[in-house]
Structure 1
């Protein structure tokens, strides 16, 4: 996992009484991200942020990691519904996202809007050890949360934990990443833009809105995705969203779910 061009608008610290292993984690994450590690001492997170001019504080604790923006809800790393869906996939059950993507074991996936990484986890479980999932997150603090969270989270199921560790997390604008890739270099390109008019926010997703980019997807992003993808370009949106027609996606999913997947199939002969 890597984190590129990280500014020091956030800092890394620990809980009140960190053990040696947690201190070593903090040092490694600081080296990987360029964000300074600040010993906690007796200061509250809010006071630590104020003293060091940081907008966000990544706090490492023994069993996990959390991202704190003073005055806002805390964002704890947890795969949320991604864990439940991953377990279903491991049991052989179908997942609408994977069906729409035409994903097969060994496929490579570029998740352009990682968020908390729930969809990346499902892709990673399904593509297996022979596949590769890259999760792109534009928010650098959230990206750091994913890097640390996916590495140390323990679900109780080895297949899920290994799938999390296989995900390559990077902080960047997804359009920049797409522009840098050769033609037909990834099997599936995926977009899950943050809904500007949310259906409902879970306790896990609600705090993420503080960090999310509310801008609609650019048509150039879809053009680049179609150039890069070998099989499909996939987008998740609300059922009646006009984004599907604006960006050229075909909605195939039936039923009454509030969110659906739009697909652009790539002609493998082109």
Structure 2
């Protein structure tokens, strides 16, 4: 059978791509499914029919592994077995066991709800950084929850985690949790993100207030400078006017003095003019 009939595997993976829903899996695909099923926690494998994934579930199991290498799928299953509470539900004294071993096996390997192809339970599988899409989705859910709460609708109902008796799911990111349910219905991570977002918002407001204060102070300083410049100009204009008046007065006095001297020296001119006043001859 040609490789085109089998379908091309996604780049960077070694998990054979499922051909179609109507066609049976190839021998290679069945081998991969069995190998990963065998790598699941021993306690879970012992609960599977014939210690493997039933034939009717193999297509679903294989489809859940798309986009990842076999090693990445094995790591995902091992991590979720502990983090999602399956191990404690099965082994702890107060654990209530596992309802469906096949359902748990599929849940351990299936892709998460995030739409980003490189998201691995909230983190970028290539860089290890938190998934931006998940952050945005949680922020949107939190905003929707807040809007609904303000509108008087109750959105804080916590769901019981499937296959994990005694566990609950976060109302924001649906991460599993155990023990007392927080009043907000949010897991610790979402609570920390909310607190961090509030702190960041407060810091942003404080920065904006500081910038506004700087702007006000700058405007006040500019206005004061304008007023001081206007006052200086007014003082200079006043001083110039006073100096001009003083010069005119001095000139008038000098003119009067000269005329008086001329009148004293040349009385005939004064007689002709008919006056010794300061008026022109």
**Shorter-normalised TM-score: what interval?**
under 0.3
TM-score, normalising length: structure 2: 0.24
Higher strand fraction (1 or 2): 1
Higher helix fraction (1 or 2): 2
TM-score, normalising length: structure 1: 0.25
Q: Which has the larger radius of gyration?
A: 2
